Amino acid sequence: MMSVKQPSRKAFIRFNLKRFSEGMTPTEPPLEPWAEALSEAQREQLQWLRSQKCVVIATEAAEEPLAGLPAGLLIEVHVNQHVVIKERGSNVPELFRQVYEAAKLFLAFPDPQ
């Protein structure tokens, strides 16, 4: 019986990435559901953060009655795999404004090297 050579895992991953990325450019990743609440200017600010090698992550935050916090959204900005800004709230545009201003200030500091 003749054995059939299976495609390598790397080729399979490359194929799926190519298929997934068709029609998308690296500068325009798909918007997350929370980002749809942002204004056009804030979406441009989000793209700017990403162009500065920042990773912006938003997760749902459950209600914490003991701390008096309602359910909302938690937005984190990571720079070089370190969380540098973390804000929690329910007003997405205002929450993003706070995170963006803090990230911009952080990125304005010179590199200590």
Q: pTM for this structure?
A: 0.67
For β-strands 72-79 and 82-89, DSSP reports them as antiparallel
For β-strands 54-61 and 82-89, DSSP reports them as unpaired
What is the span of the domain harbouring residue 71? Answer: 27-108
Per-residue DSSP letter, 36? G
63 and 70 Cβ atoms separated by less than 8 Å: yes
Q: Is residue 4 part of a domain?
A: no
Domain CATH for 66? 3.30.160
The total number of structural domains in the chain stands at: 1
Q: Is residue 9 part of a domain?
A: no
> How many Å apart are CA 88 and CA 98, to the nearest integer?
10
Q: Is residue 20 part of a domain?
A: no
pLDDT per position in the chain (113 positions), as tens?
Answer: 555 444 444 444 444 444 444 444 444 556 788 888 999 999 999 999 999 989 999 999 888 888 888 888 999 999 888 888 999 998 999 999 999 999 998 888 876 66
Name which of 55, 59, 57, 86 is nearest 72 in CA terms: 59
Q: Is residue 33 part of a domain?
A: yes
Q: Is residue 61 part of a domain?
A: yes
